[in-house]
Structure 1
Amino acid sequence: MRAQATVTFAVVSLIGSSQATLAWADDSAELAKQALNPVAAMYSLPIQYNWDQKMGPSGEGMHSVTNIQPVLPFTLNEDWNLISRTILPVIDQHGLAPGGVADKSGVGDVTQSFFFSPKQPTHSGWILGAGPALLIPTGSDELLSSEQWALGPTVVALKQSNGWTRGILANHLWGLEGSPADDKEKVNQTFLQPFFSYTNHQFTTYGINTESTYNWQSREWSVPINLTVTQLLKIDGHPLTVQAGPRYWADTAKDGPQGWGFRVAVTFLFPR
């Protein structure tokens, strides 16, 4: 009887462990998908560090930006969500101008986007979102800010299937009438972020994207190509992703970054 009880306990423990493992795998697979979805109905806090080089007239300048990007979802009704995405840049730049006159550290301008997004994908599986984007002149120094308000539309469309995620996020910002300072160029720019990635069974995601900006005033492109590896982890039961990878500037504005840079990021996930 004692032997039977021991065997029964072992079998029950094995079944329970297997079920827990399957539940964790299903949960993690869904988290990995949501982490790649800009309009997922999940609270998250991405913190992203970008480093670039060879800037300024001498080509000896460097520039780093730490983007703090809280994502807040709101339920509007049975069919629609409102997703708030904020980008607060913390900037550090050196060597961009002779004599160190442009050496600055501080906060840049906030970009605030709101996406109205259907809760269900389309019949063909596309996840959509659209709404307004707002540039808020929060820069702590005139060299770190456009010193003007800007407004425009933003859209996102993506599809996820069989581990693949592909899509695009875009916006356009126009400086509001009368807002630019006398020595500032009026904001008139288009941002395009096509993205493509694959997530394997270990919840590792290999991705490529560009974050291209076209300045309609100067008629210049800035095109960094980002290659990233992202891993979903759970630490003390709390899910997060860590990301790292190089970036290469395929095109750049005058005195902008050139050559190679890199990105590292951590995203804290808070499933609802």
Structure 2
Amino acid sequence: MLHARPGHLAACFLSLAIAVCACPGEARAQDEHVRAHPPGSDADLAQQLQNPIASLISVPFQNNLDFGGGPGNDGFGNTLNIQPVVPLRLNDDWTVISRSIIPIIHQERYSAEHETGLGDITQSFFFSRRSDVPGLTLGVGPAVLLPTATRPAFQSRQWGAGPTAVVVQQSGSWTMGVLANHLWGFADSADRRGRPDLNQTFMQPFVSHNFSNGFAATATLEASYDWTGRQWTLPLAAGVSQLVNIGQTPVNLVAQARYWFDGPSNAPEWGLRFAAVFVFR
């Protein structure tokens, strides 16, 4: 596995995203975005879905196939993340968005036995105020880790909590932003059995470009840092998405390839991601 300098890598990726989105030939003003993507069109809906706290009720099913992990670098993992997003309008200016991550995990050759079960659930609430800046979305709030895992290999055996925030800028056909949180363990849910204290930062810079008819190209760096173990985990994902309709329900289909620039000794080397995002309007 390539051991990059993760701090520089994350900074370079985010700088590149900002530079690309600021290209004068591509980044149009918000009124041009409205003309290019009429409200209610597939292209407009597809771009809204690039915002992780868009004012849409959506249920993403994100399936991750991971290869080259485990102690022998031959392990296989499959994680299905169910990630419902539900906005609740408080008044004309404020909206609170609930975002859950419910992982269902399967691992082979990470231990003596195959492991399958529910992982720990992360629940976030973003309070978002209507912005006067065209295309800008800001959200801040709490994140909570629930110790719901059913297998010892997937358990932190701790309750966790901390702040979370997201900033998204949409201009023309471009969307870019950063989602971040930090979780501290504050109470044990069971016998810790030597498990380290939960003290982890997560940062997810992302960028996408939407084309006509609901097609988009996307890239994201899902960086996390374990302050207890002093270890980065750095998978980069890039791919495409296409908005389709199944009956009366819009569904955004996503395909991405992933590569780990850094991670613990048992982290995967590479992976594939397939997702279906069901939208309810």
With the length of structure 1 as denominator, give the TM-score of the two structures. 0.86
1:170 corresponds to 2:170? no
Question: Which of 235, 249, 263 matches 2:273?
Answer: 263
Matching residue of 2:26: none
With over 3 angstroms needed to count, the CA separation of the structure-2 counterparts of 1:33 and 1:79, relative to structure 1, is same
What is the alpha-carbon distance in structure 2 between the residues aligned to residue 266 and residue 91 of structure 1?
18
Which runs of structure 2 are paired with 1:15-26 in the superposition (5 Å)?
26=40
Gaps of 5+ in 1: 1-21
Matching residue of 1:6: none
Which runs of structure 2 are paired with 1:219-230 in the superposition (5 Å)?
219-230=230-241
Q: Percent identity?
A: 42
Once the two structures are superposed, residues 19-74 of structure 1 have per-residue CA deviations (whole angstroms, 9 ceiling, x without a partner) of xxx99884323311221111111100000000111112211111110000111111
Matching residue of 1:146: 156
What is the alpha-carbon distance in structure 2 between the residues aligned to residue 191 and residue 25 of structure 1?
33
Gaps of 5+ in 2: 1-35
Matched position secondary structure for 1:33: helix
Paired residue type of 1:96 = Y
Matching residue of 2:255: 244
RMSD (Å), alpha carbons: 1.8
Matching residue of 1:181: 192
Paired residue type of 1:262 = L
Which runs of structure 2 are paired with 1:31-70 in the superposition (5 Å)?
31-70=45-84
Moved more, 162-171 or 51-60: 51-60
What is the alpha-carbon distance in structure 2 between the residues aligned to residue 26 and residue 77 of structure 1?
23
Matching residue of 1:121: 131
What is the alpha-carbon distance in structure 1 between the residues aligned to residue 74 and residue 278 of structure 2?
35
Contact 2:43–2:213 under 8 Å retained in 1: no
What is the alpha-carbon distance in structure 1 between the residues aligned to residue 122 and residue 60 of structure 2?
14
Matching residue of 2:25: none
1:232 corresponds to 2:243? yes
Structure with bigger gyration radius: 1
With over 3 angstroms needed to count, the CA separation of the structure-2 counterparts of 1:50 and 1:200, relative to structure 1, is same
Residue 237 of structure 1: CA displacement? 2.6
Matched position secondary structure for 1:149: strand
Contact 2:79–2:104 under 8 Å retained in 1: yes
With over 3 angstroms needed to count, the CA separation of the structure-2 counterparts of 1:78 and 1:26, relative to structure 1, is closer
With over 3 angstroms needed to count, the CA separation of the structure-2 counterparts of 1:203 and 1:25, relative to structure 1, is farther
